[in-house]
A = this chain, B = another copy of it.
């Protein structure tokens, strides 16, 4: 298809599509004449993926580029790619000398990981992200919110179990890797929205309208 049809099908303006191609997010179309490129269904699908990660997942273009690079790297074993994607999706924190709250929060994360018998590095990006949230709670005077941590960890195990069951049914490597990228980003959005709905439900039941 021509770029105009790709734009019409996806709702993405032509200049934006050209921008994604220039930025290396979308492969260039095949030139069918000096001024015209032909795009395939794979371009349409990749474009929808970019828009979903951008608009619903809230990822930056730089983060999307890194996710797509990991998806497209055919040399890496799937297991490694999944880890790389997960790491890139977690916001980076800090650098510099850790303050007292951060040191304490890291200890708590290590304790949690040990108590649950999780085979993960508590000092990796996800563990650091959790420690940053715990440290911020403590700094803001809400350290007691940590009381919910165990319930959160159990819920996370349940969600991850559903994620992995879904992923294990994938056969083709591309489907598998792309699913994890999409599911990780949009899954966070889904989970946050469901948490909000469940909170409002419980709050409405606790405070019935007069």
Which residue, A49, A86, A195, has most C-beta atoms of chain B within 10 A?
A195
- Is B198 a contact of A118 with CB atoms below 8 Å? yes
- Is A196 a contact of B159 with CB atoms below 8 Å? no
A147: interface (CB < 8 Å)? yes
- Closest-by-CB residue of B relative to A124 is B200
- Is A193 a contact of B118 with CB atoms below 8 Å? no
A179: interface (CB < 8 Å)? yes
Q: What per-residue 1/0 map shows which CB atoms of A91-107 lie under 8 Å from chain B?
A: 10100000100000000
Q: Chain B residues near A187 (CB, 8 Å)?
A: 145, 148, 152, 195
Q: Chain B residues near A29 (CB, 8 Å)?
A: none
Q: Which of B56, B113, B132, B161 touches A133 (beta carbons < 8 Å)? A: B56
Number of copies of chain A assembled together: 2
Known: A120-B204, A203-B79. Is A162-B158 also a contact (CB below 8 A)? no
Known: A45-B140, A145-B183. Is A90-B120 also a contact (CB below 8 A)? no
Q: Chain B residues near A134 (CB, 8 Å)?
A: 190
A21: interface (CB < 8 Å)? no
- Closest-by-CB residue of B relative to A159 is B155
Alpha-carbon separation in the docked complex, A55 to B189 (Å): 18
- Is A161 a contact of B202 with CB atoms below 8 Å? yes
Alpha-carbon separation in the docked complex, A83 to B198 (Å): 12
Q: What per-residue 1/0 map shows which CB atoms of A72-90 lie under 8 Å from chain B?
A: 0000000100110010011
A99 nearest CB across to chain B (Å):
7
Known: A119-B201, A120-B204, A182-B140. Is A129-B195 also a contact (CB below 8 A)? no
Please list the residues of chain A having a beta carbon within 8 angstroms of any beta carbon in chain B: 11, 45, 48-49, 51-52, 55-58, 79, 82-83, 86, 89-91, 93, 99, 113, 116, 118-120, 122, 124-127, 129-130, 132-137, 139-142, 144-145, 147-149, 151-166, 168, 178-179, 182-184, 186-207
Q: Kindly list the 5 A-B residue pairs having the minimum CB-CB distance in the complex, ordered from nearest.
A: A52-B136, A151-B162, A160-B198, A156-B194, A126-B196
